[in-house]
Structure 1
């Protein structure tokens, strides 16, 4: 393994959101997205698929709203393992919620919506890697074409929950600077740049299309604060990988703190990233 890069087995772990009012948000992720409530208390609710935790909702009634200039979350992207599972998600959305967009990206087919607190959500399924196209510079080609909604809905089976094998495929951030995001997530953290577009960069461990996206499309300029994204995780395959990342971040002058499960660091917009095995 290249010691300057994250191992290809790395992926996204849990995502935590700070919400002022938890009940409607919990209902949304259970009934619309299709997650299962795994643990619930006064201050937080944990949801996931099977016994795997994916989403942590932190209840803070006094948390200030995210301002229009505040950086943070663009969307959480829940990945389902099949087109029929995507069809089921589309049917749930159309029956009880409002779809805000749907796209065929070539590498994937995706549905877009927002939760009751205004956090962006994507539900998508990947096409087989053999069908992806790479450029000579080892970037992956991703387009944006209209999704064939009728054919996606037609393969749904009526399932009300996300199936086993579903996870969080990527997290897309709104940042103040693409160059600064690239410096942190590629140069310091060790992700590979997989695609660049006007005002955006997409990065991944290994040859995935992206585990993290970062854009400046809304011109946000203030550090992350208040409601919305609290933190998100990248999972590493072993302790050796975690130690290598810790050392690389410290050499790049990022303050690294220890957690119960690994380490935590903040990017240039004060967005908290946690890393664990």
Structure 2
């Protein structure tokens, strides 16, 4: 693998759906409809696609009886659903409280986020971004933290008392946070090969993005350093989708990977490539 340092992913990259296996499709669909307010976009043959009315966010495939993936295995730490506004987040928080859910939370300076798990242990973040003008940068590194959220202030947002009626239009997949097995090899791939910018470093973790976002990927080896892949019988991550603005950008990436000696496979007009931990990145062009 010979990185080409001049290559950069297009700054208008966005994120598509996370692809997961689950142990009981009916249970998972009910959870994502009730708790996250997702819409079922398609269902059949042991799989389901969910998201907003116009945007897929999850693709689920049933592996009956699958046990949760080991935390020591590479794969999903969490996927992060980005709501359009703070009041949208407040309405979801009221909804989650009404369901009796226990959730984690953190004010990350760039965002306010809440955390939970689905029935198979897949990690979920629901968050809103602060305006980009409020983000603080130290040269090329963005300041992030894990401070307590001002819950009272959040719930006092004008309009927060209105019922949560499902994910609003404008909801997108904001970022993916993956478990990896070797942080140095991970940086060499995401930064040196794909051309992401490293925008923050924490002990045992990297955060990378393009286009000046606070992060499109979190990558940590907190529990998974040197870990072995989850068995195929586990409820696990199959892949994450990255969306480039044109077919030409997919072809540019394919040419770069070929020149760099990085193995990949073609899938229609897209391509699949594995990171050093075996996490599958599935690139496609905007539909």
Which TM-score band applies after superposition, normalised by the shorter structure?
A: over 0.9
Q: Secondary structure at the match of 1:142?
A: coil
2:229 maps to: 223
Runs ≥4 in structure 1, deviation > 6 angstroms? none
Residues 10-55 of structure 1: per-residue CA shift (max 9 Å, x gap): 0111111111111221112111111111111131111111221111
Q: Secondary structure at the match of 1:84?
A: helix
2:144 maps to: 142
Residues 177-218 of structure 1: per-residue CA shift (max 9 Å, x gap): 111111111211121111111100001111000001101111
Aligned partners of 2:231 and 2:259: how far apart in 1? 26
Q: Secondary structure at the match of 1:146?
A: coil
Q: Secondary structure at the match of 2:240?
A: strand
Residues 1:203 and 2:234 aligned together: no
- Relative to structure 1, the CA distance from residue 50 to residue 158 in structure 2 (aligned partners, 3 Å threshold; closer, same or farther) is same
Aligned partners of 2:100 and 2:223: how far apart in 1? 25
Aligned partners of 2:71 and 2:84: how far apart in 1? 35
Residues 53-93 of structure 1: per-residue CA shift (max 9 Å, x gap): 11111112165642342111000000000011101111121
Aligned partners of 2:237 and 2:34: how far apart in 1? 21
Give 1:18's match in structure 2, choosing from 21, 24, 46. 21
Residues 1:180 and 2:182 aligned together: no
Residues 68 and 120, structure 2, Cα contact 8 Å, conserved in 1: no
1:154 maps to: 156
- Relative to structure 1, the CA distance from residue 273 to residue 224 in structure 2 (aligned partners, 3 Å threshold; closer, same or farther) is farther
Aligned partners of 2:260 and 2:230: how far apart in 1? 21
Matches within 5 A, 1:15-94: 15-61=18-64, 63=66, 65-94=68-97
Give 1:133's match in structure 2, choosing from 122, 133, 136. 136
TM-score (structure 2 length as normaliser):
0.91
1:101 maps to: 104
Question: Quick check: 22-31 or 72-81, which moved more?
Answer: 22-31
- Relative to structure 1, the CA distance from residue 110 to residue 64 in structure 2 (aligned partners, 3 Å threshold; closer, same or farther) is closer
- Relative to structure 1, the CA distance from residue 153 to residue 23 in structure 2 (aligned partners, 3 Å threshold; closer, same or farther) is farther
TM-score (structure 1 length as normaliser):
0.94
Q: Using the TM superposition, give the Cα deviation of residue 113 of structure 1 relative to its aligned residue in structure 2, in angstroms.
A: 0.6
Aligned partners of 2:109 and 2:127: how far apart in 1? 12
CA RMSD of aligned residues (A): 1.6
Aligned partners of 1:151 and 1:162: how far apart in 2? 22
Matches within 5 A, 1:1-12: 4-12=7-15
Aligned partners of 2:173 and 2:72: how far apart in 1? 26
Aligned partners of 2:46 and 2:115: how far apart in 1? 28
Q: Secondary structure at the match of 1:182?
A: helix
Q: Using the TM superposition, give the Cα deviation of residue 95 of structure 1 relative to its aligned residue in structure 2, in angstroms.
A: 1.6
Aligned partners of 1:200 and 1:127: how far apart in 2? 22
Residues 208-260 of structure 1: per-residue CA shift (max 9 Å, x gap): 00001101111441134432211111100112221221122233332111112
2:268 maps to: 260
- Relative to structure 1, the CA distance from residue 182 to residue 84 in structure 2 (aligned partners, 3 Å threshold; closer, same or farther) is same
Aligned partners of 2:97 and 2:240: how far apart in 1? 28
Residues 224 and 270, structure 1, Cα contact 8 Å, conserved in 2: no
Question: Quick check: 242-251 or 36-45, which moved more?
Answer: 242-251
